[in-house]
Amino acid sequence: MPADEHRVVCHIDELLAARGMTLTELAERVGLSVVNLSILKNNRAKAVRFTTLTAICDALECTPGELFTLEGTREGT
C-alpha cells in the first residue's frame, strides 16, 4: 500500500442519518465549513485535529470508534 493511502473509514453519513441531522447542521455546530466536513466524510482527509474530533463527537454524541473504523488487513498479516 502506498504511504499516502490509509484504511481509516469515516462514518459521518451513517451517524448523521441516525440522528436526523444534515452535514450543514453539523458544520454549524462544530464550527467547520461544509467543504472541510465533506473532505472528512468522503475519506479524503489526511489528518484530523483532536479538537475537531472532539467537537464532532460532541455534536453527534458518539465516540471516535463510532465515527471511524479501520478497514481491511495489512498485506502479509
Residue 76 above 50 pLDDT? no
Residues 30 and 37: beta-carbon distance below 8 Å: yes
For the segment 6-13, the average pLDDT, to the nearest whole number, is 94
For the segment 49-76, the average pLDDT, to the nearest whole number, is 90
Residue 3 above 70 pLDDT? no
Dihedrals phi, psi of 62, to nearest 5 degrees: -140, 175
The angle subtended at Cα 44 by Cα 61 and Cα 30, nearest 5°, is 30
DSSP letter assigned to residue 46: S
Provide the residue type at 34 as one letter: V
The model's confidence at residue 10, banded by pLDDT at 50, 70 and 90, is very high
Distance, in Å, from the CA atom of 27 to the CA atom of 17, rounded to the nearest integer, reads: 15
> What structural domains and CATH numbers belong to the chain?
8-70 (1.10.260.40)
- The pTM for the full model equals 0.85
pLDDT above 70 covers a percentage of the chain that reads: 88
The model's confidence at residue 34, banded by pLDDT at 50, 70 and 90, is very high
